[in-house]
């Protein structure tokens, strides 16, 4: 870690010298390029400065502790060092996150899909619970959320919810949420008080830009129909709902949340582009059917990344063996601790080359 930071510091200082020399220059393109690189390096430089300051304070306190005989003062210094050590650990975690290779899609907005898997009505209800959790987290982050499509189930839950999330670095934070989320709780309809296990699939895709995906509209079949509610009944009499079928891949996207056919078409195209971009970016996925089968249509309880256990107020992320007993807070949108732990673990893997 130190070797990498030293190279960054060397580059940072070199850029500052170069920028000073260009102060009287009219080469605005070069000045802009240097400023952009300096801005990108500044967070890691600031974190390293903070790390140095914390290490200095901890060392000074340790020397003072060795020479201090007063019991109360020793307890105070020890408590202070414990707090500084915790802060140091957080700073080093942040440094590892900054040092890790960046995903080319990290700064993109996302398409977030939540689909009911195994578990019947209870899975559909949990789709709504997860959507509420993410909505609260998105609100705290100051991002914006708009629903693209939602299909209600007869139980009061949802078969699926698809939405667009826009904000600074959304994909870099929420990309770890893709996978099967398992819920263990007593359903409201359970008369004997037995705990049931259900599953919901979450897909987070970077939003594609026009330059990323070139769709030949001759390959897209557009169907229009009346919007429907739970049970299949029509909720309006105009053909505002849109279904797009990308014939080369078989991908189907439906949008009926807007009253305007034009708006539904625009939202459906946004989802279609995101799905195609995701597929094109992931070389390991050989065909579209495997994507649908493994993620969209079948939320298999055994293939879980996370478990939400209501009776124990426990949340466990199985990828990093992370367990906390604050499920109630997480469901209210308090996801930062969990997401930070995932970022640290995955970035440590990248840095180690595994």
3-state secondary structure the chain: CHHHHHHHHHHHHHHHHHHHHCCCCCCHHHHHHHHHHHHHHHHHHHHHHHHHHHHHHHHHHHHHHHHCCCHHHHHHHHHHHHHHHHHHHHHHHHHHHHHCCCCCCCCCCEEEEEEECCCCHHHHHHHHHHHHHHHHHHHHHCCEEEEEEEEECCCCCEEEEEEEEECCCHHHHHHHHCEEEEEEECCCCCCCCCCEEEEEEEEEEECCCCCCCCCCHHHEEEEEECCECHHHCECCCCCCEEEEEECCCCEEEEECCCCCHHHHHHHHHHHHHHHHHHHHHCCCCCCHHHHHHHHHCCCCCCCEEEEEECCCCEEEECCCCEEECCHHHHCCCCCHHHHHHHHHHHHHHHHHCC
Query: Does residue 304 surpass a pLDDT of 60?
Result: yes
Query: Does residue 301 surpass a pLDDT of 60?
Result: no
pLDDT at site 334: 96
pLDDT at site 51: 93
pLDDT at site 353: 58
Query: Does residue 128 surpass a pLDDT of 90?
Result: yes
Mean pLDDT of 45-73: 91
Q: Determine what percent of the chain is predicted with pLDDT higher than 70.
A: 86
pLDDT at site 17: 87
- Class in CATH terms, 110-208+287-352: alpha beta
Token readout for 322 is 């992370």
Q: Which tens digits make up the pLDDT trace of 221-258? A: 988 887 665 554 544 556 788 889 988 888 888 888 77
pLDDT at site 87: 92
Assign 282 a pLDDT band (cuts: 50, 70, 90): low
Assign 287 a pLDDT band (cuts: 50, 70, 90): very low
pLDDT at site 21: 80
pLDDT at site 161: 95
Q: Are 113 and 296 in contact (CB under 8 A)?
A: yes
CA distance 124 to 103: 32
Query: What global pTM score does this model have?
Result: 0.64
Token readout for 303 is 């293939």
pLDDT at site 191: 66
Mean pLDDT of 8-14: 89
Token readout for 47 is 């974190």
The average confidence (pLDDT) of the chain is: 84
pLDDT at site 298: 43
CATH number for 217-281: choose from 3.40.50.80, 3.30.70.2740, 3.40.1160.10, 3.30.160.20. Answer: 3.30.160.20
CA distance 222 to 250: 13
Residue of higher predicted confidence among 133 and 291: 133
pLDDT at site 316: 97
pLDDT at site 177: 95
Q: How many CB atoms lie within 10 A of CB 167?
A: 16
Assign 120 a pLDDT band (cuts: 50, 70, 90): confident
Q: What are 185's strand-pairing partners?
A: 196
Rounded to a whole number of angstroms, the CA Rg of the chain reads 25
pLDDT at site 289: 45
CA distance 108 to 205: 9
Q: Are 164 and 148 in contact (CB under 8 A)?
A: yes
Residue of higher predicted confidence among 189 and 323: 323
Q: Are 47 and 9 in contact (CB under 8 A)?
A: no
């Amino acid at each position: 870690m130190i070797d990498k930071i030293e190279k960054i510091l060397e580059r940072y200082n070199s850029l500052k010298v170069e920028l000073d020399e260009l102060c009287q220059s009219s080469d605005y393109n070069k000045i802009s390029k240097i400023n952009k690189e300096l801005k990108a390096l500044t967070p890691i430089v600031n974190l390293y400065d903070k790390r140095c300051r914390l290490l200095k304070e901890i060392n000074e306190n340790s020397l003072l502790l060795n020479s201090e005989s007063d019991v109360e003062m020793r307890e105070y210094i020890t408590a202070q060092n414990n707090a500084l050590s915790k802060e140091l650990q957080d700073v080093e975690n942040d440094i590892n996150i900054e040092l890790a290779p960046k995903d080319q899609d990290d700064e993109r907005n996302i398409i977030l899909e939540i689909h009911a898997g195994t578990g019947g009505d209870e899975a559909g209800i949990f789709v709504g619970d997860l959507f509420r959790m993410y909505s609260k987290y998105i609100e705290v982050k100051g991002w914006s959320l708009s629903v693209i499509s939602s299909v209600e189930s007869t139980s009061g839950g949802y078969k699926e919810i698809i939405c667009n999330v826009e904000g600074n670095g959304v994909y870099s934070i929420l990309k770890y949420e893709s996978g099967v989320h398992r819920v263990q709780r007593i359903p409201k309809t359970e008369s004997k008080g037995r705990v049931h296990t259900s599953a919901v699939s979450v897909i987070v895709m970077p939003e594609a830009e026009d330059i990323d995906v070139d769709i030949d509209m001759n390959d897209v079949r557009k169907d229009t129909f009346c919007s429907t509610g739970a049970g299949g009944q029509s909720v309006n009499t105009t053909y505002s709902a849109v279904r797009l079928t990308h014939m080369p891949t078989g991908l189907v996207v439906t949008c009926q949340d807007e009253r305007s056919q034009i708006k539904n078409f625009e939202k459906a195209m946004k989802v279609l582009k995101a799905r195609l971009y995701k597929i094109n970016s992931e070389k390991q996925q050989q065909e579209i059917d495997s994507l649908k089968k493994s993620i969209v249509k079948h939320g298999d309880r055994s293939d879980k990344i996370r478990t939400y256990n209501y009776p124990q107020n426990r949340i466990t992320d199985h990828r990093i063996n992370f367990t906390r007993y604050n499920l109630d807070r997480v469901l209210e949108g308090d996801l930062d601790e969990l997401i930070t732990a995932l970022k640290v673990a995955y970035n440590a893997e990248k840095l180690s080359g595994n």
